[in-house]
């Protein structure tokens, strides 16, 4: 072939890292589109995945964009904006060969192993599936749960979680099943939860089962809170922390609603910290239902009213007795 770049059709150009070209054979067509877009437009960093998908391809989804970004991050082309960037290669022309390094060498040996597993080629993945019944079971099980063929990025990530973090196939499949139940099947989300489980030593079937039950309770209550309180937005981290605490304490959505009504009456708005104080007080007093809460509050109000009526700076009974025994005389009366 004999071609050259037609620079006359463009007002400028943008650079593409060597490692992007080195790994382009592993990338999908959608991944290449996403890479070119985020490198061409500075605004891409603040756009959400759904918006980018619409601009690039009518057949592309937000999950496709997130998978693409995950792939380029895994092979080292991109990284989070607030993360450290590996040092560039040293200038060999100056004769300082002892300081020459690559981005992989600047990583710790542990990180290098991580990236080596994450950068498996399609052929290497196929070889692992052929030689490892566990890997074959993991990938086929994941496809069965998700109801679709796994992308290269998804396959690499699951193999990495299994081999690098030693998370068993049964643990990972339980996690994928749970993520599907809450409509969060993006591989980045699955990876985030899996790493969190490893760090918190949730590595056995029993521990994973207990954690899933806890998460199911939390997500169930979170959804109900957003629905019943008509919150058309995601909960803030602090609000999620509060709801997580309610879920752990076995608080029902009905009790949350009762606290919400009292909060609005007192503050005029939905205040999670205010609701938290109300519910904490109820739990201390073993209040678990709205009916019990209503009786408790009525009793408190009655006690407060009685206390207000009975609290004086004088003894009323003594004053009445004094008045009976001491009839005042009128001016001009004979003595």
Q: What is the DSSP string of 40-67?
A: H-GGGGGS-HHHHHHHH-TT--HHHHHH
CA gyration radius, the chain: 33
**What's the maximum distance between 2 C-alpha atoms anywhere in the chain?**
139
Which residue, among 287, 310, 313, has the nearest Cα to 299 in the 3D structure? Answer: 287
Q: Residue range 222-240: average pLDDT?
A: 85
Q: List helix spans (H) across the chain.
A: 18-22, 29-40, 49-56, 62-74, 103-106, 109-118, 122-131, 133-146, 152-164, 169-181, 187-199, 205-228, 237-248, 253-267, 272-284, 290-310, 316-325
Residue 264 C-alpha from the chain's centroid: 28
| Span 18-55, pLDDT tens digits | 888 877 766 778 888 888 888 888 777 778 888 888 88
Question: Is 100 a residue whose pLDDT tops 60?
Answer: no
Question: CB within 8 A of 135, min separation 6: which ones?
Answer: 128, 129, 159, 162
Question: CB within 8 A of 294, min separation 6: which ones?
Answer: 258
| Span 174-227, pLDDT tens digits | 999 999 988 889 898 899 899 999 999 999 999 999 999 888 888 888 888 888
Q: How many CA atoms within 13 Å lie on the side-chain side of 245?
A: 13
If one compares 150 and 327, the residue with the highest pLDDT of the two is 150
Structure tokens at 315: 């003894």
Spatial separation of the C-alpha atoms in residues 320 and 222, rounded to whole Å: 60
Please, what is the Cα angle at 65 between 18 and 178, to 5 degrees? 120
pLDDT at residue 63, as a whole number: 78
Buried b or exposed e, range 52-88, using 16+ CB within 10 angstroms = bbeebeeebeebbbbbbbbbbbbbbbbeeeeeeeeee
pLDDT at residue 204, as a whole number: 92
Spatial separation of the C-alpha atoms in residues 297 and 275, rounded to whole Å: 14
Q: Average model confidence (pLDDT) for the chain?
A: 79
């Amino acid at each position: 072939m004999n071609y050259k770049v037609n620079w006359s059709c463009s007002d400028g150009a943008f650079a593409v890292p060597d490692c992007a070209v080195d790994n382009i054979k592993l990338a999908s067509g959608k991944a290449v589109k996403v890479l070119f877009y985020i490198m061409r437009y500075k605004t891409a960093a603040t756009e959400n995945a759904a918006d980018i998908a619409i601009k690039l391809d009518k057949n592309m989804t937000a999950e496709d964009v997130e998978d693409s970004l995950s792939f380029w991050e895994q092979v080292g082309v991109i990284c989070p904006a607030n993360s450290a960037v590996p040092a560039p290669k040293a200038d060999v022309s100056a004769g300082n060969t002892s300081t020459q390094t690559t981005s992989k060498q600047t990583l710790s040996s542990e990180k290098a192993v991580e990236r080596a597993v994450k950068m498996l080629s399609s052929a290497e993945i196929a070889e692992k599936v052929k030689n490892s019944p566990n890997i074959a079971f993991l990938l086929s099980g994941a496809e069965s749960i998700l109801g679709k063929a796994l992308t290269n990025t998804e396959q690499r990530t699951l193999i990495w979680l299994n081999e690098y973090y030693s998370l068993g196939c049964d643990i990972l499949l339980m996690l994928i099943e749970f993520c599907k139940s809450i409509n969060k099947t993006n591989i980045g989300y699955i990876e985030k939860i899996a790493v969190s489980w490893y760090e918190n030593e949730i590595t056995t079937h029993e521990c994973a089962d207990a954690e899933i039950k806890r998460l199911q309770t939390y997500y169930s209550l979170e959804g109900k809170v957003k629905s019943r309180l008509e919150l058309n937005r995601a909960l803030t981290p602090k609000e999620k922390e509060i709801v997580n605490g309610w879920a752990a304490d076995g608080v029902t959505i009905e009790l949350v609603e009762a606290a919400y009504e009292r909060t609005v009456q007192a503050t005029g708005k939905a205040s999670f910290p205010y609701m938290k104080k109300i519910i904490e007080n109820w739990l201390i007093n073993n209040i678990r239902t709205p009916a019990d809460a209503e009786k408790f509050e009525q009793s408190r109000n009655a006690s407060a009213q009685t206390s207000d009526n009975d609290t004086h700076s004088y003894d009323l009974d003594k004053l009445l007795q004094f008045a009976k025994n001491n009839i005042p005389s009128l001016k001009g009366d004979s003595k």
